[in-house]
Structure 1
Amino acid sequence: MTTHPPPRSLETEGLTKSFGGVRAVDGATVTFRHGRINALIGPNGSGKTTFFNCVTGMIRPDAGTVTYRGQQITGRPPHRIARAGIGRSFQLCRVFPRMTVLENMLVAVRPARLRDLVGGAGSPAETDKARRLLVRVGIDHLENVEAANLSYGQQKLLELAGVLMGDPDTIMLDEPAGGVNPALIGRIGTLIRELNDEGKTFLVVEHNMDMVMSLSHHVVVFDRGRPIAEGPPSAVRADPRVLEAYLGI
């Protein structure tokens, strides 16, 4: 019986972005698979976050293309890429510190109504959805707490819940375990697995190798702005190019 590879979710071809004379992303051609937990790893400064920013429209690439589920999205503004089905978190949490947890959730889905949402205004359906998601990530008891008073790990959970408010098909997480205690890292990993089982595709940038190797189906390794290896975690872990990039051996 002939087997077929899983459908492509996100592809880049020749993606390039320079800052001054430095190529942060250098002709990167990568494919991430639909329905999988994909990881993007690499040493500090290897271009991972710049790659994320090019894909999600935060910055415009100098060259190359980004294709999402067969549709070219290169250079589109972030809100249009979000509408296409891609949600993302950031390396440093982006929450409104003087707004409550619930208000942050409502702003995530209706950013144009920021002024109206201060004080908790929002449609009953949006508010109900926000509360269900807060239950799911385990911070529903904090809905009336200002985000500034959350731990950093709780802010990470809030940011993930806010991403889910938009019902994205693909979720891009930039260092979800960064600065988070081990118990919350486990909680975040469990959420990613559960959401993947429900059909969400993930692309995760992460330095926690234990998390990457236990969670991912497919790993892409960046060095100096371009992919140098990819495959299942077991193969990537043993690849001499990866050992050289990380350890210089």
Structure 2
Amino acid sequence: MTTAAEQATGPTGEATIGLATEGLAKSFGGVRAVDGASVGFHHGKVNALIGPNGSGKTTFFNCVTGMIRPDAGRVTYAGRDISGKPPHRIARAGIGRSFQLCRIFPRMTVLENILAAVRPPSPMLLLAPSRHHGDIERARSLLARVGIEHLEDVEARDLSYGQQKLLELAGVLMADPETIMLDEPAGGVNPALIDRIAGLVRSLNAEGRTFIVVEHNMDLVMSLSDHVVVFDRGRPIAEGPPSVVQHDPRVLEAYLGV
């Protein structure tokens, strides 16, 4: 089996670009949220997308994953043009994502929420073992993977926020994406669960999955990422290994105004 490290390098040893954008742009009224962004993310690696509040990171995610249609520019994945495709087409291409605010069905159980990733959100359809036994077994294995299998019959609204984050991640994994985009996975989560999420990202990456993570927790970014892209005012201003990016004068100016 090819390792993630082998997948992430081309014949010359250079990083292989998986997801890329060229001139991506999106405005809301007079505000240019994403401003001609051209950037590539390394296949098989943990990529971080960081930047000050309002720098366009979530809008960039939304344009890439089809949640909103960009005004201009191209999005490619594994060499294929996916610009402006609807979310279900993006998912079928091999990209899954989480959201800054968890998107779950609060009155459905944990198990029903996971099954909703591949079945319509109807309890009668979700829990029909004769038709979907394989899906149910896979859902339970993913709940075990993220450490909340004991909560499968609990309604999602009764979970802690950190547990909801784990549930959302398990739902993303249910579709078996090759690339996973996480929007602030550590936001509002206690330190113990942050460590668990970080461990899951590392183990899933070791199995060959690519990650692109928007995150404000710089300790997590610097310890978890292989490649960091820094946004400011809707476009990338710096990129590279964490050890290089954190000392880049352009990054310090964007964050600190120095």
TM-score over 0.5 for the pair: yes
Identical pairs, percent: 75
CA distance in 1, matches of 2:231, 2:242: 14
CA distance in 2, matches of 1:198, 1:6: 17
SS in 1 for 2:228: strand
Structure 1 position 62 matched with structure 2 position 82: no
1:214 deviates by 0.1
1:30 deviates by 0.2
AA aligned opposite 2:172: V
* 122, 128, 134: which one aligns with 2:143: 134
Q: 1:117 to 1:240 in 2, by over 3 A?
A: farther
SS in 2 for 1:168: coil
* 36, 51, 61: which one aligns with 1:27: 36
What's the counterpart of residue 114 of structure 1?
121
The 5 Å alignment of 1:179-198 reads 179-198=188-207
* Number of residue-to-residue matches in the alignment: 246
Dislocated runs of 4+, deviation >4 Å: 116-119
* 60, 79, 83: which one aligns with 2:88: 79
Structure 1 position 214 matched with structure 2 position 223: yes
CA distance in 1, matches of 2:56, 2:125: 37
Structure 1 position 223 matched with structure 2 position 223: no
Which sections of structure 2, spanning at least 5 residues, go unmatched? Answer: 1-10
The 5 Å alignment of 1:135-154 reads 135-154=144-163
CA distance in 2, matches of 1:188, 1:116: 29
TM-score, scaled relative to structure 1: 0.97
More moved, 116-125 vs 216-225:
116-125
AA aligned opposite 1:161: A
Please say if residues 102 and 144 of structure 1, whose CA atoms lie closer than 8 Å, have aligned partners that are also in contact: yes
Q: 1:31 to 1:119 in 2, by over 3 A?
A: closer
| Cα displacement string for residues 208-242 of structure 1 (whole angstroms, at most 9, x for unaligned residues) | 00000000000000000000000000000000110
| Cα displacement string for residues 139-186 of structure 1 (whole angstroms, at most 9, x for unaligned residues) | 000000000000000000000000000000000000000000000000
What's the counterpart of residue 57 of structure 2?
48
CA distance in 1, matches of 2:84, 2:192: 38
| Cα displacement string for residues 96-125 of structure 1 (whole angstroms, at most 9, x for unaligned residues) | 000000000000122xx2225577335000
CA distance in 2, matches of 1:117, 1:162: 19
1:5 deviates by 1.1
CA RMSD of aligned residues (A): 1.1
1:134 deviates by 0.3
Q: 1:117 to 1:164 in 2, by over 3 A?
A: farther
